[in-house]
Chain A
Amino acid sequence: MATAEYKHSILWRGEDPTKTRFKPAYDGSKKVTRYRRGQAPEWAEEGKKVQKRQEKPEEDLRKAKRRRQAAAVVLEADSASSRLARLQRSETGEERKGETGTERLLRHRQIEEAVILEAEPKDEADVTEEKKEVLKEELDLDLKPGVAELSFEINEEDEDLEIRQLRREKMREKALSKRKIEEDVLKVELEEEQEEVAEESEYESESEEDDPRRGPLMKPVFVSKANRETVREKEMIEKEEEDARRKKEVRALERKAESKVLLIDKIQEEAEAERLAAEEDDRSDIELLDDDDEKNEAEEYELWKIRELKRIKRDKEERLQRQKEIEFVLKRRQMTDEERAKDDARLDAANPKRADVKQFNFLQKYYHRGGFFQDKAASGEEALYLRDYHEPLEEEKYDKNLLPKAMQLRRGEFGKKGQVKHSHLTDVDTTDMSAAWSQSSKVVQRYQEKMAAAKGVTNFERPSMKNRLQ
């Protein structure tokens, strides 16, 4: 149906707002629980009293009143023990007219007599010792600043009045001393705290209220800046520091001067030594040995004799040698050729030319003997020349072919910059031999011959009828 009112028609334009009942978006019936920081949610508040919020302030006032009334009632009921009642009674004083001193005391104070549980027979010595022990215990002064607790230890074992009296005295003394210490401490503290405040009187009352067990303290008195010890201490410390600094400076200066003096001395010494050395008087630089000829004449004579004889001997030997040489030369001149040959052989045998040439290992280093001092080598004077320098070393004994190519070098050559073991040019030839024309096969040869028109170059046979026909 194509009407405007029909909901599902094509002409439908929506509901008429005036016709519908207004429904606010906010629904007040539903309570929304908000989460706030610090507050536990509802479901967590099981043990808590939620009623507080519900109470009104009026109710509170009423409750307070009721409480007070109850308290008042309580006071009045218990008159015997209450303070007020006592005061009232004391004012009247009816009951106590005919009281004696002792009765009054009895009223005030209940003295408990000590009850003896066990009585042991003691010697006098023991008793005195016990007393001493007791005294010692109580003389242990606890010097901690704090509450001065007087410990009343009622030992039922000690029934001596003496001891009790002593103990009381000790306790009194203890209390006094403790009080004194506390006073001092407090004084210091107070002085430190109140450097600026002129007067104060509040502490007195406060301290009294704090702890009634404390003894009376010294009244904090203002100490002017000039008289204050702390300030004085500070000044003293500063003074000391300054003194120390000054002393240090002085010492540093002294040390400088000292070192300067030392340096000068040293330089002077060195200069003097140089001068002495520079003078180099022939006589001064060396101790001259004794030149005296009159000493030990006999010994000198003996020594001279020995020398002389040696010289004579030497001369003789030289002469002999010379003689021999001449004789040999003459003899040799007279020899025939064969004899000379024989003589040569004999001489060669006598003096072997050289030691056997040693076989060197592969890449063993050759050590050149050197051209000088070979006469000493030959004669054997110098021990160094008697050594065999071609003994192979440990590193030269094994086969070096096992090593990589780079290490196949003589001793001392490996590792040097630029070390190149140059063998021969073909070793470093890098031509590629796989080319067809460089291979020496028969085909290549034939080809080459053909190209060179060298047909019969390698044919050295004589031309014959046989071959010709083919």
Chain B
Amino acid sequence: MANRTDPDADTVHGANPQFLVDRIVRVKIYNDAYWKEYCFGLTTESLIDEAARLDYVAGTYGGRRRPSRFLCLFLKLLQIQPEEDVVMEYIKQPELKYLRALGCAYLRITARYLTIYQTLEPLFADYRKLRYRDMNGKMSIIRMDEFVDWLMREETICDVLWQKLL
């Protein structure tokens, strides 16, 4: 019940926006403690607070492929489907870089290609440090522009399959 997409939400790429995340990963997120405790009943405003507490960007990691908080919030965004303005605001704000990264990811997966190009390309100028945790659990430092570059080019980041941009 709590995992249903907002009934007012539009379809994204012709399907339930939550289905953009693979079923296996999705189930993992649903069973996660963080999801159950903190991501329940999040709104766009409370999401900002949660995003402020983010520590690193990651998909699933570790032996049992534990979903990261970033990924949980990402799915939450897909679930509540905020409006584009809101997402833009997420990206534009300069203070919380992890929120910005989150916004970028969401935009990349849901928005139209033109919007993506127009919004994400200026972000190449942002060279702030982000903590990244790879699949093995190892922490490393990446830069925001690198992250955006990945979003634009790679097929799989953070265990989510992105359609290739034209």
At the interface, yes or no: A293 with Cβ under 8 Å from chain B? yes
What is the CB-to-nearest-CB distance from A403 to chain B, in angstroms, rounded to a whole number? 50
User: Which of A286, A287, A292, A308 is the one whose CB lies under 8 Å from B129?
Assistant: A292
On chain B, the residues within 8 Å of A325 by CB distance are none
Q: Provide the bound-state CA to CA distance between A304 and B34, in Å.
A: 34
Give the interface residue-count category, chain B: 20 to 34
On chain B, the residues within 8 Å of A293 by CB distance are 128-129
State whether B137 touches A286 (Cβ < 8 A).
Answer: yes
State whether B127 touches A300 (Cβ < 8 A).
Answer: yes
At the interface, yes or no: A329 with Cβ under 8 Å from chain B? no
What is the CB-to-nearest-CB distance from B120 to chain A, in angstroms, rounded to a whole number? 13
State whether A289 touches B149 (Cβ < 8 A).
Answer: no
Answer whether A288 and B139 are a contact pair too, CB < 8 Å, given A304-B145, A307-B145, A308-B145. Answer: yes
User: Which of A280, A283, A290, A301 is the one whose CB lies under 8 Å from B55?
Assistant: A283
Q: Provide the bound-state CA to CA distance between A40 and B137, in Å.
A: 111
State whether A303 touches B129 (Cβ < 8 A).
Answer: no
State whether B124 touches A311 (Cβ < 8 A).
Answer: yes
Answer whether A304 and B143 are a contact pair too, CB < 8 Å, given A282-B55, A311-B124. Answer: yes
State whether B139 touches A286 (Cβ < 8 A).
Answer: yes
State whether B145 touches A289 (Cβ < 8 A).
Answer: no
On chain B, the residues within 8 Å of A311 by CB distance are 124, 149
Which chain B residues (112-166) contact chain A, with CB distance < 8 Å? Answer: 124, 127-131, 133, 137, 139-141, 143, 145-146, 149
At the interface, yes or no: B69 with Cβ under 8 Å from chain A? yes
At the interface, yes or no: B56 with Cβ under 8 Å from chain A? yes
Closest residue of A by beta carbon distance from B61: A286
Which chain A residues (260-319) contact chain B, with CB distance < 8 Å? Answer: 280, 282-283, 286-293, 300-301, 303-304, 307-308, 311
State whether B139 touches A303 (Cβ < 8 A).
Answer: no
Q: Provide the bound-state CA to CA distance between A216 and B145, in Å.
A: 120
On chain B, the residues within 8 Å of A283 by CB distance are 55
Answer whether A288 and B55 are a contact pair too, CB < 8 Å, given A293-B128, A308-B124. Answer: yes
On chain B, the residues within 8 Å of A303 by CB distance are 127, 143
Q: Which of B68, B127, B139, B146 has the largest number of chain A CB atoms within 10 A?
A: B127
Answer whether A291 and B131 are a contact pair too, CB < 8 Å, given A286-B137, A286-B139, A307-B146. Answer: yes
Closest residue of A by beta carbon distance from B132: A289
State whether B69 touches A282 (Cβ < 8 A).
Answer: yes
On chain B, the residues within 8 Å of A288 by CB distance are 55-56, 131, 139
Q: Provide the bound-state CA to CA distance between A303 and B124, in Å.
A: 13
On chain A, the residues within 8 Å of B139 by CB distance are 286-289
On chain A, the residues within 8 Å of B146 by CB distance are 307
What is the CB-to-nearest-CB distance from A288 to chain B, in angstroms, rounded to a whole number? 6
With A293-B128, A307-B127 given, name 16 new contacts (CB 8 A). Answer: A280-B66, A282-B68, A286-B133, A286-B139, A288-B139, A289-B131, A290-B141, A291-B129, A291-B130, A291-B141, A293-B129, A300-B127, A303-B127, A304-B145, A307-B143, A308-B124
> B residues within 8 Å of A by Cβ?
34, 55-56, 66, 68-69, 124, 127-131, 133, 137, 139-141, 143, 145-146, 149
Could you name 22 residue pairs across A and B whose Cβ atoms are closer than 8 Å? Answer: A280-B66, A282-B55, A282-B69, A286-B133, A286-B139, A288-B131, A288-B139, A289-B141, A291-B129, A292-B129, A293-B129, A300-B127, A300-B143, A303-B127, A303-B143, A304-B127, A304-B143, A304-B145, A307-B143, A307-B146, A311-B124, A311-B149
